A and B are shown apart, each in its own frame.
Chain A
Amino acid sequence: MKVLVPVKRVVDYNIKPRVAADGSGVETQGLKMSMNPFDEVALEEAVRLRENGGAAEVIVVAIGPKATADTLRTAMAMGADRAIHILTDEAAGHDGGIEPLAMAHLLEEVVKKEQPGLVSIGKQAIDDDMSVTGQILAARLGWPQATFASKLELLPEGRARVTREIDGGVEVVEVSLPAVITADLRLNDPRFATLPNIMKARKKPIETIEAGSLGADTKPRLETLNVREPAERKPGIIVSSVEELLDKLKNEAKVL
């Protein structure tokens, strides 16, 4: 079985991005970019499946401009066997202006071509925080889905047992394969790429496909009218004792 892992290149999670002065979006120019943390987890799970014999090959796929190839190299240094780069227009920015629905349309074409037995994808990207691509892809393929996965076990007869993080606890479901799994942070601890593996990854192949050549509908459905900073909280005060804190909470903030 092949496992397909879509990965996204996003602003590094430690960086607090700034909103552009004209309200057109978030400034990403010159910021450190990294693989979306949830996709690292999805990838780690796929690599473990290959290592324990559950999968034969791990293919990573990313959508974006030229620099997205860096993220694919990182993915291969972490253990992916090969990569597919769906190349978008440089002028459309770091995400190619591709919305999650359009991303799912593009991924659908890759799935049709590669015929994986499993798609392992992060539960959300930390830039748009949409948390929808895996579900839309599963819907379009007519495959089952197991979202927010914190544990994955392959069962005989082409099924998988997945523990899902839900509001009040966890839930266990069984899905037939092929399926789409979206990874929660709890699924595993992704490994670091070692220097020898980074060197080896340079020799692994990246297949580049122009986004436009896949024949997928990528027309945006949302227009961003503006992006603004959330309201700043007014500066608080430091109190010197528990008595003073309780007094402020009772008489000034009136929450007790």
Chain B
Amino acid sequence: MSVLLMLESEAGKLRKSARAALAAARRLAGKAEHKIDVLLFSGSGGHDGQQAAEEASRLPGVGKVLHAPTHPLAEQAAPFLAQHARNYTHVVAPASATGKDVLPRAAGLVDVQPITDVVEVIDEATFVRPIYAGNALATVRSSDPVKMLTVRPSSFEAAEGESETPAPVETVQLSETSQARFIKRDLASSERPDLESARVVISGGKGLKDTDHFHKLLEPVADKLGAAIGASRAAVDAGFAPNEMQVGQTGKIVAPELYVAVGLSGAIQHLAGMKDSRVIVAINLDPEAPIFRVADYGIVGDLFEILPQLQEKL
């Protein structure tokens, strides 16, 4: 087995999802002598990517690093990935915005059916993935010569360790394209932990009433818990929180140790993004809210009273 693992950097460093994707790649590679090569895109955000390349070269079990210090435009990245894919049995990427953009396009060039959002690797050709907003788990076997998949980072325990001798790093250039041009990126800057890898997440819904309360009530509690803040789609649509904070089928998929759902009902689409959390707490005025069906601990009550109490007692 041989695996090509596509990774990306953020702010000059390897993204947190890299080690979870590596764990999935190691399941596929099987024996230690089977190789995992990394294709790293580091061009996002004005950093030169040297630190990310260095980090990637020290990931355990990596044979070599192909370092593309460019922004991963799908029109450039996919042909490169497709061209190299034929030398491997598997191509793996985290199910991030970049992974979901580039890998299926590469699969289209190789003419294989990609398998996305894999949550479990059964064997080299058999994978488990959620369907219908996580209401069912499908086990599928691929007959394609190269298996191309994205893996859900929250479903794999991050691979730990460093290799003593760094793998060789080869800088690669992608061919130019006139078809697409990167203009700019606007990233929300936050001191808080990254939503997808946070140990604790506190999420707010429409019950917080307005943007002001969303921030004033959730932030102090999040500070005390060291938590990332998430939001339901209703809260995002109402403008309480930016899109990138949305948890759910169409937003982020999280599986923290503790998920605190505040003033959100728990629609199917929201549950899809958080129901694999280890412990779920729900705070809601409506005892019939579906969120209580998945919550380990629930408080039926007014969040405008409960959150300040929580803040005080933490």
Q: Identify the A interface with B (CB < 8 A).
A: 11, 13-14, 16-17, 19, 26, 99-102, 104, 123-124, 126-132, 135-140, 143-148, 150, 161, 164-176, 179, 184-186, 220-230, 233-234, 236-243, 245-246, 248-249, 253, 255-256
B137 contacts A173, C-beta separation under 8 Å: no
Complex interface bits, B134-150 against A, C-beta within 8 A gives 1, otherwise 0: 11111111111000000
Interface footprint category on B? 35 or more
Complex interface bits, B72-111 against A, C-beta within 8 A gives 1, otherwise 0: 0111001000000000000000001110110011111101
Stretch at the interface among B62-70, B202-210, B276-284: B276-284
Known interface pairs A176-B178, A226-B139; 17 further A-B residue pairs with C-beta atoms within 8 A, sorted by A's residue number:
A26-B131, A101-B107, A132-B104, A136-B114, A143-B179, A145-B75, A148-B97, A148-B101, A165-B244, A166-B98, A222-B143, A223-B143, A233-B280, A236-B280, A240-B299, A242-B309, A245-B297
Main secondary structure of the interface of A (DSSP, over half): mixed
B32 contacts the other chain (CB 8 A) = no
A14 contacts B268, C-beta separation under 8 Å: yes
A213 to chain B, nearest CB (A): 21
Q: Which residues of B contact A173 (CB under 8 A)?
A: 73, 180-183
Q: Which residues of B contact A126 (CB under 8 A)?
A: 132-133, 249
Q: Identify the B interface with A (CB < 8 A).
A: 10, 73-75, 78, 96-98, 100-101, 104-109, 111-117, 126, 129-144, 177-188, 196, 200, 225, 233, 242-244, 249-250, 252, 257-258, 268-269, 275, 278-281, 287, 292, 294-300, 306, 309-310, 313-314
Taken together as a complex, chains A and B put the C-alpha atoms of A175 and B181 apart, in Å, by 6
- Knowing A100-B113, A229-B136, the reply to whether A171 touches B105 (Cβ < 8 A) is no
Q: Which residues of B contact A139 (CB under 8 A)?
A: 78, 104-109
Taken together as a complex, chains A and B put the C-alpha atoms of A175 and B178 apart, in Å, by 8
B278 contacts A166, C-beta separation under 8 Å: no
**Of B136, B142, B257, B309, which is within 8 A of A230 by CB?**
B136
